[in-house]
Chains A and B, each alone.
Chain A
Amino acid sequence: MTHQTMAHRTETLERVYAASPMRVFRAWEDPEIRRVWGAPSTDVEIRNDAADFRVGGEDVQICMAGGEAVAKVVGRYLDIVPDARIVYCEAISEGDTLLGVSLISAEFIGVGSGTRLVLTLQTVAVDGSDLLEGVKVGWTNALDNLAGMLVDA
């Protein structure tokens, strides 16, 4: 499969939690806790097919909606500093088609008795071959329509 088009974005999200960095870190470390808050939306449930929270370790999460697997997220941990930092990447696929890859850097900063979480997302979305076929059809139709308009004019 060739990926012919890419789009990139970097974004930083921040939250302040009334919990120690240790507790916030643990919510990331423990796959069962993470499964609860980590679903991409409320109608999606996460099934952990693999969880290995250590540098080089791989997580495999299946997003389930209505009992059906809708997406697969494969994560790999690149850097872990307990209670302070997690860097990992995740690849999101639908069936055999890769949709995108994200580098996720989470920083846990103690503020008083709470924690400021700074999350930086660096994401690339890629084109799958089947999607590209859709573009060709879309453009062909658009150009046919345009040609028709120009003839009528």
Chain B
Amino acid sequence: MTNHSPIDPHLLDRGFSALADATRRDIIARLSAGEASVTDLAAGYDMALPSFLQHVRVLEAAGLITTVKTGRVRTCRLETLRLADLDRWITRYHAAWQSRLDRLGDLLNQKGDTQ
């Protein structure tokens, strides 16, 4: 649940090698403004769709983006950084509930069972 596990070196290799390409860096930059369909993304590049899909797969294998297929549309979104931040927010929020329930227990003990 925590995000403090060491980074898998293989994933790091894949991440850096995925970013060592101008088209893939451009895709990442475009996805930082929000998710987009493969078709919409591909329209911005002068290459055949299969070649473009290859780039998408490399980014996905590196864990930098995820893609979800809904019907005939495949949507890509940036997966790093923000998701980790959002995840940390949930962790803090759920941890706050842990301490709340402990305080509730203290309160119930203080008052004694008067029912």
0/1 per residue, A85-116, Cβ < 8 Å to B?
A: 00000001000000110100000000001000
Which residues of A lie under 8 Å from residue B81 when comparing CB positions?
135, 138-139
0/1 per residue, B60-73, Cβ < 8 Å to A?
A: 00000000000000
Q: Is the CB of A125 within 8 A of B87?
A: yes
Q: Is the interface of B mostly helix, strand, loop or mixed?
A: helix
Contact partner, A4, options B34, B93, B97, Cβ 8 Å: B34
CA distance A126 to B74 in the complex (A): 21
Which residues of A lie under 8 Å from residue B20 when comparing CB positions?
150
Minimum CB distance partner of B16 in chain A: A146
Q: How far is the CB of A67 from chain B (nearest CB, A)?
A: 20
CA distance A42 to B102 in the complex (A): 12
Q: Is the CB of B82 within 8 A of A5?
A: yes
B96 sits at the interface (CB 8 A): yes
Contact partner, A100, options B33, B82, B93, Cβ 8 Å: B93
> Given A13-B98, A139-B81, A143-B19, is A127 in contact with B86 using a C-beta cutoff of 8 Å?
yes
CA distance A53 to B53 in the complex (A): 53
Residues of A whose CB lies within 8 Å of any CB of B are 2, 4-9, 11, 13, 15, 17-20, 22-24, 27, 33, 36-42, 92, 99-100, 102, 113, 117, 119, 121, 123, 125-127, 131-132, 135-136, 138-140, 143, 146, 150
Residues of B whose CB lies within 8 Å of any CB of A are 16, 19-20, 25, 28-29, 32-35, 77-78, 81-83, 85-87, 89-90, 93-94, 96-109, 111, 113-115
